[in-house]
A and B are shown apart, each in its own frame.
Chain A
Amino acid sequence: MSATPPMLEVDCVSAGYGAVQALQEVSLQVQPGEIVTLIGANGAGKSTLLMTICGDPKPRGGRIRLAGEDITGQPTHAIMRRGVAQSPEGRRIFPRMTVQENLLMGAEALTREDPGPQMEQAFALFPRLKERLAQRGGTLSGGEQQMLAIGRALMSKPKLLLLDEPSLGLAPLVVKQIFDAIRALNAQTGLTVLLVEQNANLALRLAHRGYVLVNGRITMEGPGRALLARPEIRDAYLGGGHG
C-alpha cells in the first residue's frame, strides 16, 4: 500500500433506517485519482452507502475516513466542506432556478472564491449547459439535467465526487456522453470518483476498480475489466452474458 492514505476509506461500516439494517460491515477504499464503481441490484444498499458517506444516516458502526481524516458522524455540510461533492440520485436540480443559479448553488455554500473558472470547467465538460444558461432547470431534458447535476457538484472544486446513478432514466447515447465526460474529467484533472450504478456493464468498463454489493454486504471486488469477465457477474447483472 502506498504512503498516501486512500482518498476515501470506508471501514466496517454498518448503517440503516429504524429497524432496517441496510449496510453490514461494508469496507471499501478509493485511492486518489481512481474511478471506483459500486454495483448491485435494487435495494442492495448502494445509495445508502453513498448517503452514509455524506453523513445522513449516521453510521451505526465502523469508521469513515477522508484522506486519512476521520469524518464519521459529522454533519453533512461539514463533510461536504472537506471536499466531497455529490450528484444525488434522481438529479434533484432546482427546477425553478436558472441553470446559472443552479451552478452557483453548488459553489456558494462551500467556497468564497470566484465561481467563474469552475463554471468554465463545467461548460468545457458539458457545452450544452452554456447554451442553456438562462433557462429554468425544470425545462431541461433528463440528460441535460444530469449534466447540470454533475456540473453543479463540480462547482465546489471537490477532491472526491460521488455519483449516484447518473444513467438513471437516460437514453443510451446520453449515458455514453455522460460517462465519456466522467472519464475525461478523471483523466484531465485526476479527480477521484465513486460511482454507484445499476448499469454494471458501462460502470465496470469505465471504472478502474469495482465493488459488488449484495444485501448490504460487499461480495466481490477487483479491477473493473476483471469483474466484468467473471461469469457470476455476467449472470447476475448483465442479463446472462448478453450485455
Chain B
Amino acid sequence: MTPAAAVRDAAIAALVAFGLFAMLVGLRTDVSPTGGLFLRQRWADVALLCGIVFAGRLALTLWLGRRALRPSTGPTPLTLQLQRLGRFFAPAMLAAALVLPFIPGIGRYELDIGILVLTYVMLGWGLNIVVGLAGLLDLGYVAFYAIGAYSYALLAQYFGLSFWICLPLAGILAAFWGVILGFPVLRLRGDYLAIVTLAFGEIIRVVLINWASLTGGPNGISGIPRPTFFGLPFSMSGGEGSFAGFFGLEPSPSHRVIFLYYLIFFLALLTNWVTIRLRRQPLGRAWEALREDEIACRSLGINIRDTKLSAFAIGAMFGGFAGAFFATRQAFISPESFTFIESAIILAIVVLGGLGSQVGVAVAALVMIGGFEVFRNLEEWRMLVFGAAMVVIMVLRPRGLIGTRTPTIALKEKRIIGKDLVGEGRG
C-alpha cells in the first residue's frame, strides 16, 4: 500500500472511530449540583481517541505492508529460533514452577496467584484434549469444572467423605456428564456443536442455582473441608495429629498454601502427562484424525462415536479434578464461579496458546491469568489492556503462540511442522 493510500485508509478508520466515540464518549449525562441532569461535552477526549485510532491504523498498514511475502515451504527463521529456545523453555518453566514456593520474596499473595495460574493451566490442558486434539469446539467446559467442585462439596457435606476419596469420584462424575453431553452432539460439528455445549454449560449453572434444597442455590456451599496431608490436617494448633506436629515444624498458615500449590502442580502435570501419552497412542491419533477429516476417519473404520465420547469424557474428567481442587481451596463455592465467562477464558487460553500445544497453553494461562492479576492496579483499564493484548497476539501469531504440531511418531529425526504449514483450525 502506498503511503497516500495508507493515510486515506487511516483517515477512514478515524472517521469510523469518530462515529462511534462521538456519542459514547463525547456526550455524557451527569448529575448537576442542583439535582437535574445535564450534558457534559468531552470533545477533547474524542479527538484524542480518534487520533490514537488514526495513528494505530496507519502504523499497522505501513508495517504490515513492509513485510515481504515469503514462500512458505519451510519454517521461518523466527520459528526456528523459537524452536531452539523452546527446547529449554519448557524444562525451565517446569523447574521454576517446582521451586516457586521456596524462592525468597514469594509470599502468600504470589503463591495464591501461582495456584490460580496452575488451575487454569490444568483447565486449559483439559479443554485442549477436546478442542485442540479432537477438534470439538466446546463452549461449556466450565460445566465440568462446576460438576467436579459440587461433587466434592456435596459428597463431603452429606457423606463426610475426604478430599482424597472425592477427587477421583469428582473426575468420574465429570467424565460421566461428559458422555451425557457427548451423546446428543455426536452428529454436530463446528458452530452447531458450540451452541449446544454453550447451552449445556448454562443448564448446569441454572440447575445449580435453582436446586436450592441440594446445592444451596445462589448462596452456594460453605465450610467445605480443607484437604489433609494424607490424613494429617493443617491445623494452627500444631497438635500431635496435625501436619506441623507430625513433622515437628512450627505451625504456619503457609504450609497449607504450599501444599495446595504442589497439589495443583501435580494435578496439572498429570493432565499433561496423560495427554502426551495418549497422543502417541492410537486413541490420541484418532482424535487428531477426527479433527482433520471425519469422513476419512469413517472410511478407515474408526468408531467415531467412541472416539468423540472418549475425548469428551477424558477432557471433562480433568475439568472435574480441577473443580474438586477449586472447592477444597476456596472452602466455599457458588454458581457465580461457573459462569460462561470462565468457559470463554479457558477457551481463549487454548486458542491463544495454539490449539493442541501443551507448552503454548501453559504460557497463555500464565499470561492471561497471571497478567490479569499483575495489572490489577490498572483497575478498569486492565480489560482494555487485555483485549488489546489478545488482538495483538492474534495479529502476530494467528495460530496461537505455538502453532506447530510435533508428529506423534517419527522414524529417524523428529521434524517439527512449521506453523506456516499448518492450516487454520476448522471448528
Which residues from chain A sit less than 8 Å from chain B, CB to CB?
54, 56, 75-77, 79-81, 85-88, 92-98, 100-101, 104-106, 108-110, 133-134, 136, 138-139, 152-153, 156
B342 at the interface (CB under 8 A from A): no
Tell me the bound Cα distance from A208 to B415 in angstroms: 44
Do the beta carbons of A156 and B296 come within 8 Å of each other?
Answer: no
Contacts of B154 in A (CB 8 A): none
Of the A-B pairs whose beta carbons lie under 8 Å apart in the complex, a sample of 27, sorted by A's number, is A56-B298, A77-B298, A80-B300, A81-B301, A85-B301, A86-B300, A88-B296, A93-B296, A94-B293, A95-B292, A95-B293, A96-B288, A96-B405, A96-B422, A97-B289, A97-B292, A98-B417, A100-B407, A100-B411, A105-B285, A105-B300, A108-B285, A109-B300, A110-B301, A134-B407, A134-B412, A153-B299
Do the beta carbons of A76 and B301 come within 8 Å of each other?
Answer: yes
B280-321 CB contact bits vs A (8 Å, 1 = yes)? 001001101100110111111111100000000000000000
Contacts of A104 in B (CB 8 A): 285, 409
Contacts of A106 in B (CB 8 A): 300
Contacts of B422 in A (CB 8 A): 96
Tell me the bound Cα distance from A156 to B300 in angstroms: 8
B76 at the interface (CB under 8 A from A): no
Task: Given A108-B285, A134-B411, decide whether A54 and B300 contact each other with a Cβ distance below 8 A.
Answer: no
B404-416 CB contact bits vs A (8 Å, 1 = yes)? 0101111110010
Tell me the bound Cα distance from A136 to B405 in angstroms: 10
Is the interface on chain B under 10, 10 to 19, 20 to 34, or 35 or more residues?
20 to 34
Do the beta carbons of A76 and B407 come within 8 Å of each other?
Answer: no
Which of these, A54, A96, A139, contacts B299 with CB under 8 Å? A54
Tell me the bound Cα distance from A94 to B299 in angstroms: 12
Contacts of B423 in A (CB 8 A): 95-96, 138
Tell me the bound Cα distance from A105 to B297 in angstroms: 8
Contacts of B407 in A (CB 8 A): 97-98, 100-101, 134
Q: How far is the CB of B162 from chain A (nearest CB, A)?
A: 40
Contacts of A134 in B (CB 8 A): 407, 410-412, 415
B96 at the interface (CB under 8 A from A): no
Which of these, B408, B409, B421, contacts A139 with CB under 8 Å? B421
Contacts of A75 in B (CB 8 A): 303
Contacts of A139 in B (CB 8 A): 421
Contacts of A138 in B (CB 8 A): 421, 423
Chain B residue with the shortest CB-CB distance to A84 = B301
Tell me the bound Cα distance from A223 to B179 in angstroms: 51
Do the beta carbons of B299 and A133 come within 8 Å of each other?
Answer: no
Tell me the bound Cα distance from A98 to B288 in angstroms: 12
Chain B residue with the shortest CB-CB distance to A93 = B296
Contacts of A86 in B (CB 8 A): 299-300
Tell me the bound Cα distance from A133 to B91 in angstroms: 30
Do the beta carbons of B296 and A76 come within 8 Å of each other?
Answer: no
Task: Given A80-B300, A110-B301, decide whether A96 and B285 contact each other with a Cβ distance below 8 A.
Answer: no
Q: For the A-B complex with A94-B289, A106-B300, A134-B415 known, give 11 more contacts whose Cβ atoms are closer than 8 Å.
A: A77-B303, A80-B300, A85-B300, A86-B300, A88-B295, A94-B296, A98-B409, A101-B288, A110-B300, A138-B421, A156-B300
Do the beta carbons of A109 and B303 come within 8 Å of each other?
Answer: yes
B247-285 CB contact bits vs A (8 Å, 1 = yes)? 000000000000000000000000000000000001001
Tell me the bound Cα distance from A100 to B407 in angstroms: 9
Q: How far is the CB of A94 from chain B (nearest CB, A)?
A: 4
Tell me the bound Cα distance from A83 to B421 in angstroms: 35
Do the beta carbons of A136 and B417 come within 8 Å of each other?
Answer: yes
Tell me the bound Cα distance from A128 to B405 in angstroms: 23
B208-225 CB contact bits vs A (8 Å, 1 = yes)? 000000000000000000
Do the beta carbons of B292 and A109 come within 8 Å of each other?
Answer: no
Q: How far is the CB of B302 from chain A (nearest CB, A)?
A: 4
Q: How far is the CB of A224 from chain B (nearest CB, A)?
A: 26
Contacts of A105 in B (CB 8 A): 285-286, 289, 297, 300, 302
Contacts of B292 in A (CB 8 A): 94-97
Do the beta carbons of A152 and B288 come within 8 Å of each other?
Answer: no
Task: Given A96-B417, A109-B282, A138-B423, decide whether A156 and B409 contact each other with a Cβ distance below 8 A.
Answer: no
Contacts of A77 in B (CB 8 A): 298, 301-304
Do the beta carbons of A156 and B410 come within 8 Å of each other?
Answer: no
Do the beta carbons of B408 and A101 come within 8 Å of each other?
Answer: yes
Do the beta carbons of A101 and B417 come within 8 Å of each other?
Answer: no
Among A56, A101, A139, find the residue whose CB has the most chain B CB atoms closer than 10 A. A101
Q: How far is the CB of A180 from chain B (nearest CB, A)?
A: 24
Contacts of A109 in B (CB 8 A): 282, 286, 300-303
Chain A residue with the shortest CB-CB distance to B410 = A134
B343-360 CB contact bits vs A (8 Å, 1 = yes)? 000000000000000000
Tell me the bound Cα distance from A75 to B302 in angstroms: 11
Tell me the bound Cα distance from A139 to B405 in angstroms: 14
Do the beta carbons of A108 and B421 come within 8 Å of each other?
Answer: no
Do the beta carbons of B421 and A136 come within 8 Å of each other?
Answer: yes
Do the beta carbons of B289 and A80 come within 8 Å of each other?
Answer: no
Contacts of A136 in B (CB 8 A): 417, 421
Q: How far is the CB of A77 from chain B (nearest CB, A)?
A: 4
Q: How far is the CB of B397 from chain A (nearest CB, A)?
A: 17
Do the beta carbons of A97 and B300 come within 8 Å of each other?
Answer: no
Tell me the bound Cα distance from A136 to B407 in angstroms: 9
Do the beta carbons of A76 and B417 come within 8 Å of each other?
Answer: no
Tell me the bound Cα distance from A77 to B301 in angstroms: 4
Tell me the bound Cα distance from A133 to B301 in angstroms: 23
Chain B residue with the shortest CB-CB distance to A75 = B303
Do the beta carbons of A80 and B411 come within 8 Å of each other?
Answer: no
